[in-house]
Every structure is written in structure tokens, then in C-alpha cells.
Amino acid sequence: MKPLTIYTCKLTEDQAATLKSCLEARNYSSRVVPYARFAGEKEKTNVVFYESGKLVVQGKGTQEFVEFVLEPEVLKQARLGYEAVLNPDLLLPRIGVDESGKGDFFGPMCVAGVYVNEPVIDAWKDAGVRDSKNISSDKKISDLAKLIRETPGCVTSVVPIGNEAYNRMHAKMRSVNAVLAWGHARVIENLMGQRHRMNPPPVRAISDQFASSKTVIEKALMSLGRSIELVQRHKAEEDLAVAAASILARDEFVKRLAVLGKNYEVELPKGAGTNVDAVAKEFFGQRGPAELAKVAKMHFRTALRAQGLPEPPKSEWRKSGPAKKI
């Protein structure tokens, strides 16, 4: 593992005061840095505390400074290098599953799965693999997707559900969650079919809990998928395997949306909103409902608006509570 050469974190006012005293006691040379409250330099280490409260430590001495000064004297807790000790599940061989395109009117729904083990996790330590929703650049998504696919030991599967297939499935299943559950189950099945490439084999598959009942995916699992523990939880994308899957799914969605737009010589926007409504209406006016169904999810209200059809009344959402006693 390469030694750490940059480290960032937030400090409280008290922690900042303690850090400044630590630098002075160790004879760090004071530096003037724009937007910094104070900064110090000594041999192979540069320490800058910004007005925003952000601390940046850089240089060849970063790891030593964090482990022997910052953590014990300022943060009062050991973080660096102890993540796996504090949470051993972080290194478990596992499959992460996530999707992209569910909330986008135009384009397919894409579901991806990623198998990770300890060497894969170590290889991504400083790569910036995180939930795709926190990455605004399509170029960055594409670069990370390439890294994920090419990492030795990593096994991946992507299941794109094109718009025509998606619309057929939704018409039959009558539920976005049912379509999504099928996609998750299909990806898990595909990956378990490649378990001979996984060393060691995965102990579980992790996905976001997108339905009120955890049985939605469980019922959709196929024969191989039933042989592995399925873990569903909210904010599952905080897990590295799920975050990697979200990147692959988003990359596939973005590229397929671009191809659809190129084929129809129109820029199809992501998401859903007034700008999407305008493009949908124009597209329908020029090409009609059959062609619209080839590029869009027809159960969206956007499709009704584009065709000038009445929208059903919105049902009022109510949080379910305990049954009242009679």
C-alpha cells in the first residue's frame, strides 16, 4: 500500500487551536496561504488550516503526521488505517448492486452489480469511487467506470433495460419497483454465474432498500441468487461495492441516452422537469407515440403531458401508522 501523501478533514475551533499549538511546539515554519487561518511547513510536511474549517496535510510526511500528531493529540481518535479494524465488514468479499435511470424520463433503466474483495478495495483506496449521485461530471463517471472494470479481481455485470422492454415490463408488472427488483435479481444471477472468477466467493449481496418490503427483491431472485445472503438497507451506496455499481449503472445510462439522442438527432435531457416536458412535447409532435415509447418511460406523467392527455389526480401520500383501536 502506498504511503499517504494528502489528508483532509474538518476541525472544530478547539481542535484548530490545539493543532496550532502542536505546530508551534514542533517548530513548524509559519506560511502565508490564501484563505488560510494558519499554515505550517517542516521538512516533508505542509499543514494548512483554512478559514472554512478544513484542514489539509500534504507531503511525504503526511501519514506520519496524521498517525503520531493529528490523531492522538488533536482528533483524539484513531481513524487512519483503522477503518477495517473498527468495521471488519468493509473488507468482506461481497456484491454491490445499484441502478440508474429510474427517475429519468428519457433513456433506459440500467442495473449494475460489482464483486469486490480486499485487494480490489485496497486498489480503490484513493481512486475516488463513491456514489455516482455525488459525481457531477460524466467524464469522471466514465473514467471511474473504466477503472472499476479493469481492476484485477473485480467482477462486474450490467443489465440495461431498454425503453421498449421497460415499457412492456411496467405494463405487465404495474410497478417500477417490480421492474427494478427483476433487474437487481438478474444482475445478482449473472454475477453468481461467474463466481468461479471470485476469490474468495462473496458472502452477501448488498442493495438499496427501494421498496417498503424487503421481500420484493427476495421474491424476484433466481436459483443462483438464492444461494447468497441478500442485505437491503437505506443509503446502501455508502458501501464501496454499491457505490461502484452505481458508477457502472450511471455510465451505461449516460452512454445509451447519448446514442438514443444521436439516432433521433435530438439532445435528450436527463431527469424529469419542465425542460424535459418541452423536449418530450416536441418529440411527440414530430414523431408520434410509437417513437416516443422507444426513447421514454411511458408511465411518467411527462408522457401524458407530451401527448395532451389528462393526468390522473395525484394521490395524497400519508405515512402509515399503527392501527387504531376500535
The C-alpha cell 492522538 sits at 72
> What's the mean pLDDT in 106-111?
98
Last residue of a domain, one of 221, 255, 289: 255
Under DSSP, is residue 153 helix (H, G, I), strand (E, B) or coil?
coil
Under DSSP, is residue 321 helix (H, G, I), strand (E, B) or coil?
coil
The answer to whether residues 285 and 241 belong to one domain is: no
Residues 161 and 181: their CA atoms lie apart, in Å, by: 12
pLDDT at 75 exceeding the cut of 50? yes
Last residue of a domain, one of 81, 115, 142: 81
Higher pLDDT: 299 or 322? It is 299
pLDDT at 298 exceeding the cut of 90? yes
pLDDT at 323 exceeding the cut of 60? no
Higher pLDDT: 138 or 7? It is 138
Residues with Cβ within 8 Å of residue 294, at least 6 apart in sequence: 163, 164
107 pLDDT band, cuts 50/70/90, is very high
The pLDDT value given to residue 166: 98
In a domain, 312, yes or no: no
The answer to whether residues 198 and 296 belong to one domain is: no
The answer to whether residues 155 and 52 belong to one domain is: no
Last residue of a domain, one of 14, 47, 81: 81
In a domain, 323, yes or no: no
Residues 167 and 186: their CA atoms lie apart, in Å, by: 18
The total number of structural domains that make up the chain? 3
If phi > 0 it is left, if psi is from -120 to 50 it is alpha, else beta; for residue 29 that is: beta
Long-range contacts of 134-141 (CB under 8 A, 24+ apart): 135/247, 135/250, 138/254, 141/247, 141/250, 141/251, 141/254
The pLDDT value given to residue 12: 93
Domain range enclosing 73: 6-81
- The single-letter code of the amino acid at 94 is R
In a domain, 322, yes or no: no
The residue length of the chain stands at: 326
pLDDT at 319 exceeding the cut of 60? no
**Residue range 163-200, pLDDT digits in tens:** 999 999 999 999 999 999 999 999 999 999 999 999 99
The answer to whether residues 175 and 286 belong to one domain is: no
The answer to whether residues 138 and 154 belong to one domain is: yes
**Residue range 14-53, pLDDT digits in tens:** 999 999 999 999 999 999 999 999 999 998 899 999 999 9
pLDDT at 79 exceeding the cut of 80? no
CA 41, 42, 43, 48 torsion: positive or negative? negative
Mean pLDDT across the chain, nearest whole number?
90
- Quick one: DSSP state of residue 2? P
Residues 230 and 11: their CA atoms lie apart, in Å, by: 38
The pLDDT value given to residue 70: 92
pLDDT at 73 exceeding the cut of 80? yes
The answer to whether residues 153 and 26 belong to one domain is: no
The answer to whether residues 106 and 209 belong to one domain is: yes
Neighbouring CB atoms inside 10 A of 282's CB total 12
238 pLDDT band, cuts 50/70/90, is confident
155: domain CATH number? 3.30.420.10
Residues 139 and 145: their CA atoms lie apart, in Å, by: 10
The C-alpha cell 460524466 sits at 138
The answer to whether residues 197 and 160 belong to one domain is: yes
DSSP code string of 60-72 = TTHHHHIIIIIII
87 pLDDT band, cuts 50/70/90, is low
The pLDDT value given to residue 233: 87
Report residue 152 as a C-alpha cell. Answer: 484485477
The answer to whether residues 129 and 211 belong to one domain is: yes
> What's the mean pLDDT in 285-301?
97
The answer to whether residues 161 and 29 belong to one domain is: no
Long-range contacts of 210-219 (CB under 8 A, 24+ apart): 210/177, 210/180, 211/177, 211/181, 216/177, 216/178, 216/181, 217/181, 217/184, 217/185, 219/181
pLDDT at 135 exceeding the cut of 50? yes
State how far the alpha carbon of 8 is from the alpha carbons of 24, 49, 126, in Å.
20, 10, 12
In a domain, 142, yes or no: yes
Higher pLDDT: 122 or 277? It is 277
The pLDDT value given to residue 210: 86
The answer to whether residues 123 and 70 belong to one domain is: no
82 pLDDT band, cuts 50/70/90, is low
The answer to whether residues 228 and 198 belong to one domain is: yes
pLDDT at 321 exceeding the cut of 50? no
The pLDDT value given to residue 318: 53
The C-alpha cell 474468495 sits at 200
**Residue range 208-237, pLDDT digits in tens:** 988 878 889 999 999 999 999 999 988 888
